[in-house]
Amino acid sequence: MLALGDSITYGYGATLPELSYAERLRKQLARNVRVSLHVQAKPGWTSRQLNKSLPEVPKCIYDEAEIVTLMIGGNDLLRGAAALLTGKPERIAQVCEKSRVEVEQIVEYANRPYNTFVIATLYNPFPNFDVAERITQEYNDMLRKVAARHKLYVFDSSRIFRGHEADYVEHYKNGQFRDIRFYRNPIHPTDAGHQALFQGFYRTLQRAKASRQKRKVVRQRRRA
């Protein structure tokens, strides 16, 4: 299993390393078969930084990974905040397009015809700030389009976090962008948030498995 991302995938917010969503997912999958996990993620990484890091990973990890998860983009939005918070559609489109190019390249580099690749949408830690909600929605629309082009599975983390931010987001205050600080920012998942991410990824993988089995049955019937 290969987990790609930034500080969330790295495990920020989890009180113990084994409580991160990626490690929870590995543990769940390892109930039936042996599963090794490689996490290619660092705090602060944008989609560009993740993309540039991919050649550092041995090729055999990409070739052998039966499952790949990708959750990236939060830092793209934070670093573009000065332009994005104007709310101008053209500024939002520019940031989304810049990230799209990087995300497309990440997918093309890490994807294999035989693996199950799940890309997660971003949750909005500032649900009571209309501009942040609109920006997150547009960014997620971009991610869904990338997933559709490459026939990836989508896990909608924005949906499962909505209405649960006070429990799922570490240091959550008022759900406003003005809550952001240099320290103890209300951004990363709590243990409960990591649990929710794990469950969402796992359910998506289960749906992917069921879909493959259904297609296999259909092919067998056509041959009969």
Position 92 confidence tier, pLDDT thresholds 50, 70, 90: confident
Question: For position 209, what pLDDT does the model report?
Answer: 86
CA 23 vs CA 31, 34, 135, 193: distances in Å: 13, 13, 29, 14
Residues near 131 by Cβ (< 8 Å), separated by ≥ 6? 84, 85, 87, 177
The structural domain count of the chain equals 1
Span 82-89, average pLDDT? 73
Contact 106, 5 (CB under 8 A): no
| pLDDT tens per residue across span 169-224 | 999 999 888 777 767 788 999 999 999 999 999 999 999 888 777 776 666 666 66
Residues 122 and 137: their CA atoms lie apart, in Å, by: 9
- Domain of residue 7: give its range: 2-223
Residues 69 and 71: their CA atoms lie apart, in Å, by: 7
Looking up residue 40, the CATH number of its domain turns out to be 3.40.50.1110
At residue 147, does pLDDT exceed 90? yes
| pLDDT tens per residue across span 35-85 | 999 999 999 999 999 999 999 999 999 999 999 999 999 999 988 877 767
